[in-house]
Amino acid sequence: MIEGNLGLVHSCASRFKERGVEYDDLFQAGCVGLCKAADGYDESRGFAFSTYAVPVILGEIKRLFRDGGAVKVGRTLKEKSRKTVKIKEELELTLGREPTISELSERIGESESETAFLLNATQPVLSLTVENDDGTSEKDIPTMREDDRIIDMISLREILSKFDKKDKMLVEYRYFKNLTQSRTAELLSMSQVQVSRREKKLLSAIRKEMIK
């Protein structure tokens, strides 16, 4: 199982290239996560191994940044920062978009400047310049990787495959066809309130599976 899924480790490790940690270290941390996933996987629960393994692999790689960053951050600040990021992710699912600093600061009860600080407190250090072959330097701007989308879609599809038909259709109408809650309610013979409540529960379930 481990040998057959090393590709998952490479895909996950590639998401963190050029963020201040050598690729070999990223891969080694990912392999630790893969081994832990293989030990903890329970096929009887009905989830594919990749669905269970990817979050565990990513968790080990992220731990590498948290524990070995060049800039040391206090334990209390780390915990506060992680809670802020978690709340931000919850709001992102609820709102269907990334929350503004103002919305997030209101949710956690902090000033906007403190909220912005907390969001960045445990981020890995990035190099602003790189050395070219000719000795010159340029800004190193991180870009969105295609691997990110592929891994997320694999996980999402596995999670949705466990939903009943009506829940699958609700997610499809709302997030793949971009229909309003009112229109979705009509198609599913539900009220808008029912759609809203069910949607929140489904998003919460998806989020828990994606980040655990």
Q: Which residues contact 126 (CB under 8 A, 6 or more apart)?
A: 18, 19, 20, 140, 142
Task: Write out the two tokens for 83.
Answer: 């809670």
Q: What is the pLDDT of residues 186-207, one digit of tens each?
A: 999 999 999 999 999 998 888 8
> What are the two backbone dihedrals, phi and then psi, of residue 14, each rounded to the nearest 5 degrees?
-65, -25
Supply the DSSP symbol for 97.
S
194: in domain: yes
**What gap in Å lies between CA 138 and CA 16, rounded to an integer?**
20
The per-residue pLDDT for 75 is 65
7: in domain: no
> What are the two backbone dihedrals, phi and then psi, of residue 129, each rounded to the nearest 5 degrees?
-135, 155
86: in domain: no
14: in domain: no
Nearest to 108 by CA among 74, 135, 134, 83: 83
Task: Write out the two tokens for 86.
Answer: 């978690």
76: in domain: no
Task: Write out the two tokens for 114.
Answer: 């403190």
207: in domain: yes
> What are the two backbone dihedrals, phi and then psi, of residue 139, each rounded to the nearest 5 degrees?
-70, 135
Task: Write out the two tokens for 121.
Answer: 């407190």
User: Which CATH number characterizes residue 177's domain?
Assistant: 1.10.10
Supply the DSSP symbol for 178.
-
Q: How far apart are the first and last CA of the chain?
A: 20
Domain residues for the domain of 195 are 163-211
Q: Which secondary structure element, helix H or strand E, spans residue 130, and what is its range?
A: strand 129-131
127: in domain: no
Which residue in the block uniquely carries the two structure tokens 């295609």?
Answer: 146
Q: pLDDT class for 49, splitting at 50, 70, 90?
A: confident
Nearest to 30 by CA among 11, 51, 47: 11
Q: pLDDT class for 45, splitting at 50, 70, 90?
A: confident
**What gap in Å lies between CA 37 and CA 50, rounded to an integer?**
9
Q: pLDDT class for 134, splitting at 50, 70, 90?
A: low
Q: pLDDT class for 140, splitting at 50, 70, 90?
A: very low
Q: What is the pLDDT of residues 142-174, one digit of tens each?
A: 444 555 666 777 778 878 888 999 999 999 998
Task: Write out the two tokens for 117.
Answer: 């600080």
The number of distinct structural domains making up the chain is 1
Task: Write out the two tokens for 36.
Answer: 């832990």
Q: What is the pLDDT of residues 17-42, one digit of tens each?
A: 777 677 888 889 899 999 998 888 88
